[in-house]
Structure 1
Amino acid sequence: MLVWQRLVLDVAVFLIGAATNWARHWSKMRNVALPSWAPAFLQMVAALTRSVQR
């Protein structure tokens, strides 16, 4: 795999993780429940991007 493709995927995984953590933090601060599918969906996307990396 090309170096830049790997770099783009690493950044994508990082951004997905950061977005997940931020959404969890925000929902706690605002006392708002995230949709039940949101964490599972984000984990699935992160797993897909990781599997593409290999």
Structure 2
Amino acid sequence: MRSIFLVCTPSINVVWSWQSIKGETIPKSINIGFHWYDKTNIDAADIKPLLYE
């Protein structure tokens, strides 16, 4: 059995979990609007507007 890691709204978690259990395909990558940042990319153009001053 493959493990599923889902981080998004609960309702879509249920849908994708059920689809996976039934053997249907689910997206490999799910855009949840989250951006990871640390000291290596804190000044990147796509991260800068998301930070508080």
| TM-score normalised by L of structure 2 | 0.31
Q: Which has the higher helix share?
A: 1
Kindly indicate whether structure 1 or structure 2 has the higher relative contact order, using CA contacts under 8 Å at least 6 residues apart: 1
Which of the two has higher C-alpha Rg?
Answer: 2
